[in-house]
Structure 1
Amino acid sequence: MREAELNRQRVVFTPQEAAHLPQDRPYAAYICHYDWAEGEHATLMHCHERLAEVLLILKGSGRYTVDLRRYEVAAGDVVLCSGGALHDEFPQADQPYQTLCVAIGNLALADLPPYSLLSPDRCPLFHQPEQFADLKELFCLMDRYAAEREPGFQELCQHLMLASLELVRRMAAGRKEDLVTREDSTFGRVARYIDRHYAEDLSIEQLARQFYLSPYHLSHIFR
């Protein structure tokens, strides 16, 4: 499916329809595609109390905040937002920025809080190209069926969503870096930024301004 065919939002189950679904089974609420190619945009800090979200960064780069931790994101990244988690995003202004997101309701995974994709002490940002490619393919199929709205499209979307959840589970289980403290989060964000901008003339002062840190604190983290 061509990315140009993706739309802003496709509803799979309306809130009224979801009220009649079994409460112990997850469902695909909607899939949305954002194309912010006309300069810098930013979302307001918000949360969805009963919906978890799996977000794919298709193009561009920017910053994504989850529960007051800010992460550098770029094409190929996956961000997991549990229900009730505060989050927002700030795309980089000088390049096209596209995201593709599926919202999941009634999520209850073993050993996790309700509406959660990860435990609160784990980093919500992943860069695993194999799972990203598979998730993108599943999401695009969901979007197509939700756009066509042929009889049975909701069931098809449900199966695709469950397959996506299994990929997310494998993605989370396969990552080596696990627990995230405040210092780990800052270190990881700065390290990813340096890795992606290594060809530029970077300085401690510039990096400190970029991440709202003091040069002394940044030097201490990377001592």
Structure 2
Amino acid sequence: MKTRTKTNPNPLPAALLAGRGTAGKTPPTGIQHCKNPLQPAALLAGWSIVRKLKRRERKTPSSRPQAINGIPKGLAPLAPPAQGRPPRRRGVQGQSPGAGTRSSTPVRRRTGGSCVKEVHCPVRPSGGKSIPFEQEPRLTCISRTLPESPPPWTLHSHDDLCELVLICEGEADYSISGQEHHVRRGDLIIYNSGVVHDERSGTSMPVSSYCCSMTGLKLHGLRENAFLPDGACPVFPSGAHFEALRDTLSIMFDALSAGADGCAPFCNYLLLGVLSRVWALRHRQPAAPGAAQNLLGSRIKAYIDLHYTEDIRLQTLADGLHISPYYLSHVFKDMTGYSPGQYITRRRIGLAQNLLISTSLPVSEIAARVGYPSPSHFNDRFAKNVGMSPRAYRKAYLVPTAPQESASPSSEAPEKPEKAAKRKARTQ
């Protein structure tokens, strides 16, 4: 049987074909049959040596790290870099050049053959102004108003409290220091101490809100219990921070409602965080254009705010200002939206609401304190403005399981010994 061999038209040089185990032998001039008919015998011998070395490395662990694409396995990247993006340069002490300027920096780590992704959020200076506290406030109470809650308070003010209100749902018209403000979901309202305010929400979109009352607040350059300068716009939107503020106030309300140990300092610290965010939001708002000062209306309002529990005659007030009663009513209503008589009535009802909730005074004594000697006349006025009787209003607001404390020491009424003895006998 004849064996046919193919002649290589372009034989390789003898020096190239010379290899291990072929020294002194004449290299073949043809191509032998093998798995890869394109490789000469010398190259096949070299590949066999490489295969033997690889088998030996598999059996014996090597001290050298294996490489992936020319990079040691322990240093191999977990994901290829994005196309068109230059490699990230390392900064001092292993930090990236932008460290501290990003809100979050993803870091990948390999643990036990699995990849764990961690997100680091570094604390960085906000660049804004911090609250210039001279004395930090103390939270006195937090309330939540729901659409099915009792009617809101009418015209009233707080002499020793500053209030922060967040509107969660609905729309309403608020009267604050004689100015009308239409508020809606997401709006923040600041009531400095002594500021007279009123709420008139519509039945179609009732208001749901949180209200924080605080005392002992003192900021640099402002009077006590004032978070904003007098005359500044007290209503501004919370914007993208609405949900965070609402959730924080909800946590505070739930903690105080549960009455757990240590909830008071916990809520006070949360209050400082809320005020810090509100302070930053307030100073990002453009300054409101200054309204023209109604000096005559301001004088009338200041006098009524001091003497609304007394018997005020419109004619006497007009004579003291040397103007007609008609002109006085026109100027006052143009400024506040109420006639002098309506304003006095709403101030009295607002004070009565405060006394009904914060004290245990009888209704007849509350009527006399707010300027109504006749209890029946007081009941009629109260029901007309609030929508329910004074006793029903007190029952709707009071919580039976929680003792009610007075808002201020001056408004507390000491219990008579006879009543205390009767109450003690009933409990026994």
Q: Same fold (TM over 0.5)?
A: yes
Q: 1:77 aligns with which of 177, 187, 204?
A: 187
Contact 1:56 1:99 in 2 (8 A): yes
1:99 is aligned, of 187, 190, 209, to 209
RMSD: 2.2
- Rounded Cα–Cα distance in structure 2 between residues aligned with 1:182 and 1:74: 26
Aligned residues: 162
Contact between 1:41 and 1:91, CA under 8 Å: does it hold in 2?
A: no
Structure 2 counterpart of 1:113, from 223, 240, 252:
223
Higher strand residue share: 1
Alignment of 1:1-223 (within 5 A): 24-37=135-148, 41-182=151-292
1:70, 1:132 → 2: CA distance? 23
Q: For the residues of structure 2 that align with 1:160 and 1:55, how far apart are their CA atoms?
A: 15
Counterpart code for 1:80 = I
Tell me the SS of whatever aligns to 1:140: helix
Shift of 1:30: 0.4
Q: Secondary structure at the match of 2:269?
A: helix
- Provide, for residues 136-176 of structure 1, a one-character-per-residue CA deviation record: whole Å limited to 9, x for no partner: 12211111110121111101001001111111211111111
8 A Cα contact 1:37 1:97, kept in partner: no
Unmatched 5+ stretches in structure 1: 1-22, 184-210, 213-223
Structure 2: state its 5+ residue gaps: 1-133, 294-335, 338-428
**TM-score, scaled to structure 2:** 0.36
Structure-2 change in CA distance of 1:149 and 1:88 (3 Å):
same
Identity across aligned pairs (percent)? 22
State the alpha-carbon separation in 2 of the partners of residues 33 and 163 from structure 1: 19
**SS of the counterpart of 1:157?**
helix
Change in 2 beyond 3 A, CA 1:180/1:125: farther
Shift of 1:94: 1.3
Greater radius of gyration (CA)? 2
TM-score, length of structure 1 as denominator length: 0.67
Higher RCO (C-alpha 8 Å, min separation 6): 1
Partners of 1:130 and 1:52 in 2: CA distance: 24
